[in-house]
């Protein structure tokens, strides 16, 4: 289903990065720059009304108003060696660590979706600014 959502995450990555809140974009940028071995792309960044409705229909989002709509949230997807998206827990854990470290070093407070309580499978791809 993620192919329909974002058929070319690698190609769209830079544009998606620019659309984010610049503070969040800086954390993503730093996490990548500091960890060239952990490849990941933005699967979903800023969402317009149509994309947010699609996320609700698919059960990706429970909220009518998501921090994605203001560019204060980002979903990151891991890439394999060939640059294809693959949802691997170990790869995800690596960039969760990279994101937390980058945020801490920049003095930015972020929340990781993997810690969301009560969300069906918790949202392991999701990061958002704690105080946008
Ligand atoms: Zn998200």
**Domain segments of the chain as ranges:** 2-129
Residue 73 pairs in a beta bridge with 128
Count CA atoms closer than 13 A to 38's CA, side-chain side.
22
Give the distance from CA 53 to its chain's centroid: 18
- The CATH class of 2-129 is alpha beta
Question: What would the mean pLDDT of 62-74 be, rounded to a whole number?
Answer: 85
Tell me the CA–centroid distance for residue 72 and ligand 1, in Å: 10
Question: What would the mean pLDDT of 49-67 be, rounded to a whole number?
Answer: 80
Tell me the CA–centroid distance for residue 36 and ligand 1, in Å: 23
Determine contact, residues 96/40, Cβ cutoff 8 Å: no
What is the pLDDT of the chain when averaged over all its residues? 87
Tell me the CA–centroid distance for residue 78 and ligand 1, in Å: 14
pLDDT beyond 90 at 20: yes
Q: Full-prediction pTM beyond 0.85?
A: yes
pLDDT beyond 90 at 33: yes
């Amino acid at each position: 289903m993620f192919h329909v959502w974002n058929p070319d995450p690698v190609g769209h990555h830079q544009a998606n990065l620019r659309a984010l809140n610049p503070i969040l974009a800086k954390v993503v940028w730093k996490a990548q720059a500091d960890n060239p071995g952990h490849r990941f792309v933005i699967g979903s960044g800023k969402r317009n009304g149509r994309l947010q409705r699609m996320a609700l229909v698919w059960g990706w989002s429970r909220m009518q108003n998501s921090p994605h709509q203001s560019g204060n949230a980002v979903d990151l997807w891991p890439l394999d060696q060939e640059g294809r998206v693959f949802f691997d827990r170990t790869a995800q854990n690596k960039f969760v660590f990279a994101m937390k470290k980058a945020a801490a070093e920049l003095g930015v407070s972020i929340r990781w979706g993997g810690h969301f309580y009560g969300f069906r499978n918790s949202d392991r791809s999701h990061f958002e600014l704690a105080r946008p």
